[in-house]
A and B are shown apart, each in its own frame.
Chain A
Amino acid sequence: MKLTVWTYEGPPHVGAMRVATGMKGLHYVLHAPQGDTYADLLFTMIERRDHRPPVTYTTFQARDLGSDTAGLFKKAAQDAYDRFKPQAMIVGASCTAELIQDDPGGLAETMGIPVPVIPLELPSYQRKENFGTDETFFQIVRALARPMEKTAQVTANLIGPTGLGFRHRDDVVEVTALLNDMGIKVNVVGPMGATPEDLTKLGQAHFNVLMYPEHAEAAARWMERDLKLPFTRTVPIGVGATRDFLAEVSKITGLPVRADESRLRLPWWSRSVDSTYLTGKRVFLFGDGTHVAAAARIARDEMGFEVVGMGCYNREMARPLRALARDYGLEALISDDYLEVEAAIEAAAPEMILGTQMERHIGKRLGIPCAVISAPVHVQDFPARYSPQMGWEGANVIFDTWVHPLVMGLEEHLLHMFRDDFEFHDAAGPSHHGGHSPKPMERAEAEPEAPADPAPTQATPAQPSSVEVVWLPTAESELKKIPFFVRGKARRNTERYAAERGVTEISVDTLYEAKAHYAR
C-alpha cells in the first residue's frame, strides 16, 4: 500500500481511453463500476473536446455483483456496437473489474460482433497511464496492420500522438511540415485522427516517425519486425534534435536533407546580447522521459543554462534517462512521488524549474520560476493558439515559454531591490507567484524541514551540516539583499563554507568569502 495525494499518471485504462479518444471510428467498452466515467471530463474539459469520448462503461453497481456482471458487459458491448457502429472495438477492464475477473475479451469473442474486437490486458495494480496508451496502440496495430506494397512516393507514418497529449495536436502539424520540406508525405497519423481502417494501411509507408516513445514504442518495434518499417529514434524537440532527426530521416530514405529554417528564430534570440544573463542559469528538469531528455539538450546547448537536476516519473524511460543524466554529470531522479521531487528541487536550489503542472506548484511554493514542458498538464496548457514543441516553430515556442518566467524573475529582483520604497514593501509578495504565499523563501529558510505533509512516504532530506553556525545580524541583513531566488543557495553555500572551516559565526566577510569560493 502506498499513500498518495498527487499522481503523475492515471491508471492504464485512462491510457486506453486516450488512444480511443484520439482515434475516430473506434469504440472502447470498459468494464468498470459506476463512477469511473469521471475520466470523460479530462477530455471534455482539459482538452475541451466537443464530443463525448467514444467509451461505453458498464457502470456496474453493488447489486449487480452477486448476479451477472458478465451479462451486463455483453449487453453494454452489444448496445455500443448497435448505436455507434464503429469500424473496430477495444474491450477491457478497469481496476475493479480486473478483480471480479469477467474476461471482457473472452466474452466479446463469443458475441459475433461483425467488426474486429480487440481485447486489452492492462494490469491496473502494476502499470500506469503511459503503459496503457502504448499497450493499447500496440494491440490495435497488431490486430489491424498487415504488410503491404509501399507507396510510390516516399511516405512516413507519424505514430504516438494521442488524446490528452501535451501539444500533440500542433506537433503533428510541425512534423508534417518538416517531412514535407524533404518531399516526404505522411501516410497515416496514429492513434490521433486515425480510423481503424487507416491503421490497416500503416504497412504501405516507408518508415515510421516515432513521435512519442511513451505512447508508441511497442507498436514501432512490432512494425519494424513484422512490417519491415524502420523508425526514427530522435525526437525532434529543439534545434539540434530537429537537425539530427532530419539527418536520420535522410539516412533511412536516402533523400537529401532539405529544411526551411527561415522561420527558426531561437538561435539568434539566444545569441542576442539580451540573453547573456541566461548563461549558467541553474535549471532543474522533471517530466516524462522524452520531454526531459529533449529539454536537457536545449537547456545546455541552445540556451546556455546549467542543468543541475533531471528526472522522470515514468519508469519505462528510466534507462535512457539515467544514461543521459550521466552525460550531464548528474544522477537521474526516477520517481512518481512528488515529495521526492520537491526534496530534490530544494536540495538542488535551481533558479528555474522545467517540469509538469506539479512542479509549477512546487515552484510557486519555493518561489522559483517555472515553465511547463510535459504532461500532466492542466487546461491552460491546451492552448487555442498554435504552440508546438517540435520542429522550428517548436523551438521558437520553447524559447519564449522558458524565458518569460525568468524575465519576470528579474523584474521581481528589481522590485525587491527597491522594496524599501513605499510601494514595494516585502509583504506585497511576488507579482505572479500568488498573493497567498508571500515571501516564500523566507518561510522555507525559517523552517528548513518541509511543511507537514499528508503523504509521509519520504523522509525529509538530511540537513547539509550538523555543525551549529550562527548568522551575525549584519550578515543576515546582507543576505536579504541577495535576490530571493538565489538566497537559499547563498545561505546553504555560506553555511557549508563556514562549517568546512570550523567557523561558527557568519559575518559579512564570511558571506563574501563563500561567494568568492563558489564563484564560477
Chain B
Amino acid sequence: MTHHTPTPPVRGCGNTPILKQRGQREVFCGLTGIIWLHRKMQDAFFLVVGSRTCAHLLQSAAGVMIFAEPRFGTAILEETDLAGMADAQDELDDVVARLLARRPDIRQLFLVGSCPSEVIKLDLSRAAERMTQAHAPHVRVLNYSGSGIETTFTEGEDACLASMVPVLPETDARELLVVGALPDVVEDQMLGLLAAMGVTPVRVLPARRSEDIPSVGPNTVFALTQPFLGETTQVLERRGARHIPAPFPFGEEGTTAWLAAIAAEFGVDAETFARATDAPRARARKAIATVAEGLRGKTIFFFPDSQLEIPLARFLTRECGMEALEVGAPYIHKQIVGPDLDLMAEGPVLSEGQDVDLQLDRARASRPDLTVCGLGLANPLEAEGLATKWAIELVFTPVHFYEQAADLAGLFSRPLRRHGILKDLNGGVAGGAMGRATGRMAPAGEEGSA
C-alpha cells in the first residue's frame, strides 16, 4: 500500500500443510481468560462452577491479583453435590443469591462451566435462565464453558463473548463493531485512529460496562483484534453481521493493514487515511527499528498457547527480521488468520495441537535462538541453554497497534539481550545443583554455548 511496507512474499504460508499431533498438551484451560476479562468488564462477576483444582488454577494464574477483591470466584463442588443433580442446582441458587446480595454493584454474572461441571452435565444454561428471571432487571446471568476439555486458554474469552452475542440488542444501523478485549489504553488509541479516519460510530465487544453493550444486526460489520475469536465470529455471522478479514494489528504493518481493511469497507480516501496514520506509523517504524536490532537474523520457535502465535510470527519475521522455525498454535482458524498466513514467507513448520514431548524433541533438535512457551516449560528449557520468552505475558501486556509495536518487539528482544549480558557463572568449582542439572539435561557439547 505504501513503499514502506515490505512486499508480500511470493509464496506465503497459506497453503503450507499443517502438522497435527495428538498427545499431552501443556496448555492452560479457558478459565484463565477470566483473569483479564474481569478487569475489562467492570460490572461483571465470573463464578466458576468447578472443583478445588479450578480455584487453585485461578489462584496460581491470578498471582497477587487474588488479594485485590477480584470479581471472580469458584463455587467448589463437594461430595454432596455429586450425589444428586437437583441438589446442585439449589445449592448454586443459594451461592448466587448470597453473592449478589453481597455485591450489589454486579450487573452481569457469568456462570462459567468447568471440566467437572461439564462431565456431570450440570445444566448451567438452564440455571442462567432461571437466575436471570429471579434477579431481573438488575442482573443478567449468562453462562459459558471455560473447561479444559473444551477450551484452550484464550478460547475462554471466545466462549464468553459468544455467550453474549445472542442477547445483544438488535439494530439496523450500519456500525463497526470491534471484537476482542483490549487493555483500555489500547482500545482508546484504536478508537482515536478510527475516529481520525472518520469511521463512526464504533462499538466494542466486550464493553467496559453493561450499559454500553453494543447492538448487532444485518448492517453490522465487525473486525477482530484477537485471532482466537472463531466461535464469536460464527455467532455474529448468524445474527447477520459481516466479518472484515484483515491481518491482526501487531506491529506497524499489521496495524496499518488492519486499519486499511476497515478504511476500504467504509470508503475512506487515501488522503484521509494517510493523515490519520502517517505520523503514528513513522513513530512505530522508528521505535521498532531500534528495539528489533537484537532480533535480526535470530531464529524463533513457538509452542502453542494463545492462537496469537501466527500473527506474532508474521510480525517478528517481517518487521523484526527473525526466522521462524516452527509456529505452533492450539488451533488454527484459517479463515481468521488467513491474511497473516499469506503475509508470512514459506518456511516454518506450522503445527496445530501438541504432543509436548515430541515437540520438545523438535525444539531441542533445531536449537532456536528464542523459544516462546508457557511457564511450565520456560525454566526447564533455559536450564538446557535455550533462551525463552514466556507466552502468557503477551496476553496480559498491551501489545496491539502502533504505540505498543516497539514494546511488543521489546518483549522478545529482552530475553536475548539478557542472555548476552549475563556472564556464564556455571561450571565454576564443581558446579552447583543447577550446574549439574544443566549438564545432565543439555545435549553433549552444548552446555553454556548460549
Residues of A at the B interface (CB closer than 8 Å) are 1-7, 9-11, 13-14, 33-42, 44-45, 48-52, 56-62, 64-65, 76, 79, 83, 94-96, 99-100, 124-126, 128, 358, 361, 365, 378, 451-457
- Which of B67, B69, B81, B377 is the one whose CB lies under 8 Å from A1? B81
Q: From known contacts A3-B75, A7-B59, A126-B79, infer whether A41 and B52 are also in contact, taking CB-CB under 8 Å.
A: no
What are the residues of chain B within 8 A of A453 when measuring CB–CB? Answer: 69, 102
Taken together as a complex, chains A and B put the C-alpha atoms of A124 and B120 apart, in Å, by: 15
What are the residues of chain A within 8 A of B377 when measuring CB–CB? Answer: 40, 44, 52
Q: Are B73 and A52 in contact (CB under 8 A)?
A: no
Taken together as a complex, chains A and B put the C-alpha atoms of A36 and B60 apart, in Å, by: 12
Taken together as a complex, chains A and B put the C-alpha atoms of A221 and B64 apart, in Å, by: 38
Q: Which residue of A lies closest to B31 (CB)?
A: A35
What are the residues of chain B within 8 A of A35 when measuring CB–CB? Answer: 27-31, 57, 115, 147-148, 152
Chain B 66-96, CB-CB to A under 8 Å as 1, else 0, gives 1101111111111101100000100110110
Q: Are B103 and A37 in contact (CB under 8 A)?
A: no
Q: Is the C-beta of B219 less than 8 angstroms from some C-beta in chain A?
A: no
Residues of B at the A interface (CB closer than 8 Å) are 23-32, 45, 47, 49, 51-53, 55-57, 59-61, 64, 66-67, 69-79, 81-82, 88, 91-92, 94-95, 98-99, 101-103, 105, 115-116, 118-120, 147-150, 152, 357, 374-380, 382-383, 434, 437-438, 441
Taken together as a complex, chains A and B put the C-alpha atoms of A39 and B51 apart, in Å, by: 14
What are the residues of chain B within 8 A of A14 when measuring CB–CB? Answer: 53, 56
Q: Which residue of B lies closest to A126 (CB)?
A: B79
Q: Are B79 and A36 in contact (CB under 8 A)?
A: no
Q: Are A59 and B25 in contact (CB under 8 A)?
A: yes
Q: Are B76 and A4 in contact (CB under 8 A)?
A: yes
What are the residues of chain B within 8 A of A51 when measuring CB–CB? Answer: 380, 383, 437, 441
Q: Are B376 and A124 in contact (CB under 8 A)?
A: no
Taken together as a complex, chains A and B put the C-alpha atoms of A337 and B102 apart, in Å, by: 17
Q: Are A34 and B60 in contact (CB under 8 A)?
A: no
10 A-B pairs besides A1-B94, A96-B119, A126-B78 with CB distance below 8 A are: A1-B81, A1-B95, A9-B52, A37-B25, A38-B61, A50-B434, A59-B23, A61-B149, A452-B105, A454-B45
Question: Within the complex, what minimum Cβ distance (angstroms) separates B23 from chain A?
Answer: 8
Q: Are A62 and B152 in contact (CB under 8 A)?
A: no
Question: Within the complex, what minimum Cβ distance (angstroms) separates A136 from chain B?
Answer: 16
- Which of B91, B102, B379, B383 is the one whose CB lies under 8 Å from A45? B379
What are the residues of chain B within 8 A of A41 when measuring CB–CB? Answer: 60, 374-376
Taken together as a complex, chains A and B put the C-alpha atoms of A126 and B60 apart, in Å, by: 21
Question: Within the complex, what minimum Cβ distance (angstroms) separates B155 from chain A?
Answer: 11
Q: Are A452 and B82 in contact (CB under 8 A)?
A: no
13 A-B contact pairs sorted by A residue (CB < 8 Å): A3-B73, A5-B73, A10-B53, A35-B31, A35-B152, A38-B28, A51-B383, A51-B437, A52-B377, A59-B24, A62-B147, A94-B53, A456-B102
- Which of A11, A56, A126, A451 is the one whose CB lies under 8 Å from B53? A11
Question: Within the complex, what minimum Cβ distance (angstroms) separates B388 from chain A?
Answer: 11
Q: Are A7 and B52 in contact (CB under 8 A)?
A: yes
- Which of A5, A36, A42 is the one whose CB lies under 8 Å from B70? A5
Which 5 residue pairs of A and B lie closest in terms of their CB atoms, listed nearest first?
A35-B148, A35-B29, A40-B376, A50-B383, A96-B115
Question: Within the complex, what minimum Cβ distance (angstroms) separates A17 from chain B?
Answer: 12
Taken together as a complex, chains A and B put the C-alpha atoms of A33 and B76 apart, in Å, by: 17
Question: Within the complex, what minimum Cβ distance (angstroms) separates A279 from chain B?
Answer: 32
A-B contacts, CB under 8 A, total: 203
Q: Are A96 and B71 in contact (CB under 8 A)?
A: no
Question: Within the complex, what minimum Cβ distance (angstroms) separates B91 from chain A?
Answer: 4
Taken together as a complex, chains A and B put the C-alpha atoms of A287 and B72 apart, in Å, by: 24
Q: Are B98 and A50 in contact (CB under 8 A)?
A: no
Taken together as a complex, chains A and B put the C-alpha atoms of A64 and B79 apart, in Å, by: 25
Taken together as a complex, chains A and B put the C-alpha atoms of A451 and B68 apart, in Å, by: 11
- Which of A13, A49, A61 is the one whose CB lies under 8 Å from B380? A49
- Which of A1, A36, A50 is the one whose CB lies under 8 Å from B148? A36
Taken together as a complex, chains A and B put the C-alpha atoms of A9 and B55 apart, in Å, by: 10
Taken together as a complex, chains A and B put the C-alpha atoms of A44 and B375 apart, in Å, by: 7
Q: Are B52 and A124 in contact (CB under 8 A)?
A: yes
- Which of A48, A126, A454 is the one whose CB lies under 8 Å from B103? A454
What are the residues of chain A within 8 A of B53 when measuring CB–CB? Answer: 10-11, 13-14, 36, 94-96, 124
Q: Are A454 and B380 in contact (CB under 8 A)?
A: no
Question: Within the complex, what minimum Cβ distance (angstroms) separates A137 from chain B?
Answer: 20
Q: Which residue of B lies closest to A124 (CB)?
A: B51
What are the residues of chain A within 8 A of B72 when measuring CB–CB? Answer: 5, 454
What are the residues of chain A within 8 A of B105 when measuring CB–CB? Answer: 452
Q: Are B379 and A33 in contact (CB under 8 A)?
A: no
Taken together as a complex, chains A and B put the C-alpha atoms of A162 and B263 apart, in Å, by: 59
Question: Within the complex, what minimum Cβ distance (angstroms) separates A231 from chain B?
Answer: 28
Taken together as a complex, chains A and B put the C-alpha atoms of A5 and B32 apart, in Å, by: 14
Question: Within the complex, what minimum Cβ distance (angstroms) separates A427 from chain B?
Answer: 21
Question: Within the complex, what minimum Cβ distance (angstroms) separates A132 from chain B?
Answer: 11
Question: Within the complex, what minimum Cβ distance (angstroms) separates B89 from chain A?
Answer: 10
What are the residues of chain B within 8 A of A6 when measuring CB–CB? Answer: 59, 66-67
Taken together as a complex, chains A and B put the C-alpha atoms of A64 and B150 apart, in Å, by: 11
Taken together as a complex, chains A and B put the C-alpha atoms of A35 and B149 apart, in Å, by: 8
Taken together as a complex, chains A and B put the C-alpha atoms of A79 and B361 apart, in Å, by: 14
Q: Are B27 and A95 in contact (CB under 8 A)?
A: no
Question: Within the complex, what minimum Cβ distance (angstroms) separates B325 from chain A?
Answer: 21
Q: Are B73 and A454 in contact (CB under 8 A)?
A: yes
Taken together as a complex, chains A and B put the C-alpha atoms of A351 and B372 apart, in Å, by: 46
Of B67, B70, B71, B357, most A-chain CB atoms within 10 Å: B67
Q: Are B437 and A125 in contact (CB under 8 A)?
A: no
Of A11, A38, A56, A83, most B-chain CB atoms within 10 Å: A38
Q: Are A451 and B376 in contact (CB under 8 A)?
A: no
Q: Which residue of B lies closest to A48 (CB)?
A: B379
Q: From known contacts A35-B57, A50-B437, infer whether A4 and B379 are also in contact, taking CB-CB under 8 Å.
A: no
Question: Within the complex, what minimum Cβ distance (angstroms) separates A443 from chain B?
Answer: 13
- Which of B24, B26, B52, B98 is the one whose CB lies under 8 Å from A95? B52
Q: Which residue of B lies closest to A46 (CB)?
A: B60
Q: Are B149 and A60 in contact (CB under 8 A)?
A: yes
Of B95, B376, B377, B380, most A-chain CB atoms within 10 Å: B376
Q: Are A40 and B26 in contact (CB under 8 A)?
A: yes
